[in-house]
Amino acid sequence: MLNRTFDDNRPLWSSLLPELHKPEQYGLDSSDVRWQSESLDRLLNSDWIGDDRAQALNVIRAEFRSLPRAKANPPATLLRLGDLLASTLEETSPMGRAAKSLPESFREVHTELVNAIRRLDPTHSQAFNERSRLRIQDPWPNDPDRRTPEEIVGNKDTLDLVIEFVDTLYNLIVADSIGIAPATFSTDVGIGDRALISRAIAQELAIAQYRSGAQQAAWLPRQGVSTRQGVSIGESEEHPLFEVRLNSQAAVTENQTRDQLSNLRDSAVNAIAALLDARAQRGSSGRARSPFWKGLDKLAAAEDAAAARKALDAHLKCVASILGGQGDAGLVGQFGVQFLLTGGGAVGPAIAAALWQLPGIFEFPAITLGAVAPAAAQKGVQSVRHWQGTRRWAHALGKVIELRG
C-alpha cells in the first residue's frame, strides 16, 4: 500500500495518513516523505507521524506478526470492482430488475446511485478500480472538463453515498477473496437520520449487487415489506449488531460529533488494552492464568445449561471489572451477549455497543466465546433503549453476513 502512495496510475488515499498523498499541503518535503514511505520502519520513526499514530500502527503490525497464517479459500472467480460498478447501470441485471419492486426509500437511493455512477462512467474508465480516486480532490480520469468526483455527481451527499456503496463492494471483494469467515460491515459516522438511512440502504444494495454478480441469491426487501433498513431504521426495538451513538439534545456540528466519538475511542483504549492483556495471560511462560481464562475454564467444564449460564454471567462480570469503569458486560435475553463502552464529553455521553446472539450455550465453543465475551450490562441495555426516544446525532450501524451462504 505504501508503494502506491506516489503512483499516479494507482493512487492511495489514507485517512489515517493524509500527508502521504500531497505532503506539500502539510508543510512537508515531498522527497523526504517519499523516502520515508519506502519502509514502514522509516515511516514509523518519522518526525511528522506522531507518537499516537506510530503506536497504533505498531500494535497492528505486532498483532499480525503474532497470529498464525490461515489458508485462504478464495472463490472460483474473483469479481473486479470496476466490473461490478459497470453492471449496476444495466437494467437487465439482477439489481436492475429488482429495483422496480423495491420499497420507495430503496428505489430513491438506487436511482441516485445509478445516476451518479453513470456520470462517473465506469464503462470507459479504470478509475473505479482504485476507490481512493473518489476521495482525492483531483480531476476524475477521462473527464474532458477536468472536474472532481464531487463536481461530477453534483454534491457531497451524493458522493458520500457513492463512496459508501463502492467501499462496501470493495470490502466484499476482499472478504470473499479470503473466504474463511463471515464479514462485518458498518456505515460511516455522520449527522442526521436521513443520511444514515441512505448509507445503510447503499450498503444493502452493494451487498445485493455483489451477491448477484457471484450468482448467489441477492436478498432485498420488496415494496410494502417493513424492514429495519427502511425509513423506520433506528426506531425498531431490534438491536443492531454494532452501534456507536452520541446522545445529545444540543445542536452540535459534525466536527463536534467526530470529536466526541474520538473521546470515546480514547477512553476505550486503556479498557481494551487491559482486556487484551488479561486474555494474553494463559498461564504459559511462568505467568499466572488470569481470571479471564479461569472464567472460561469454568464455562467449558459446565455440565448443564444452567451451570453454563451461571459461569458465563460470572465471566462477563469479570470482563466488566477488567474494563476498569470504561465499560460494562452482561447477558441480554436468552442467548444475547452485549458489550458497552462509554465516553463522556461536553455534548453528552457517547457509547459503543456490540451485541452477539449466541446460537446456544453448548453450540458455541468456549474459546470463541472468549473472543466475543466483552459485552454490555443489563443497565446499559436499558439505557440504550431509553435513549431511543432522544435526539440522535451520530451512529454507525453494522451487520454480519456470510458471503457464500
Host H or E run for residue 342: strand 336-343
Nearest to 350 by CA among 398, 395, 381: 395
Nearest to 302 by CA among 290, 315, 292: 315
Grid cell in block for residue 167: 467501499
Out of 151-160, 193-202, 229-238, which region has the weakest mean confidence (pLDDT)?
Answer: 229-238
pLDDT tens digits, 269-287: 777 778 878 887 776 655 6
Query: What Cα–Cα distance (Å) separates residue 102 from each residue in 92, 117, 122?
Result: 15, 19, 24
Q: Specify the range with the lowest mean pLDDT, choosing from 95-109, 123-137, 342-356.
A: 342-356
SS3 content of the chain, % helix, strand, coil (to 5): 50, 10, 40
CA distances from 304 to 294, 357, 361, 367 (A): 18, 19, 9, 18
Task: Give residue-wise pLDDT tens across range 297-321.
Answer: 888 788 777 787 788 888 888 888 8
Interatomic CA distance for residues 13 and 21, integer angstroms: 6
Which one-letter amino acid corresponds to residue 99? A
Torsions phi, psi for 228 (to 5 deg): -70, -25
Contacts 24+ apart (CB under 8 A), 228-234: 229/106, 229/197, 229/200, 229/201, 229/204, 230/103, 230/105, 230/106, 230/197, 231/105, 231/197, 233/193, 233/196, 233/197, 233/200, 233/397, 234/193, 234/196, 234/197, 234/388, 234/392, 234/395, 234/397
- Neighbouring C-beta atoms of residue 336, cutoff 10 Å: 16
CA distance 261 to 247: 11
4, 139, 140, 163, 205 from 136: Cα distances, Å:
14, 9, 9, 12, 24
**Other Cβ atoms within 10 Å of 314 Cβ, number:** 15
Q: Which three cell numbers stand for residue 273?
A: 488494552
Q: Are residues 1 and 12 in contact, defined by beta-carbon separation less than 8 angstroms? A: yes
Q: Give residue-wise pLDDT tens across range 23-66.
A: 999 999 999 998 998 888 999 999 999 998 998 888 888 878 87
d(CA 373, CA 271) in angstroms, rounded, equals 14
Category of 318 on φ-ψ map: left (φ > 0), alpha (ψ -120 to 50) or beta: alpha
Q: What is the pTM of this model?
A: 0.71
pLDDT in tens, 143-195: 889 999 999 999 999 999 999 999 999 999 999 998 887 777 777 666 666 77
Q: Is the pLDDT of residue 338 over 90?
A: no
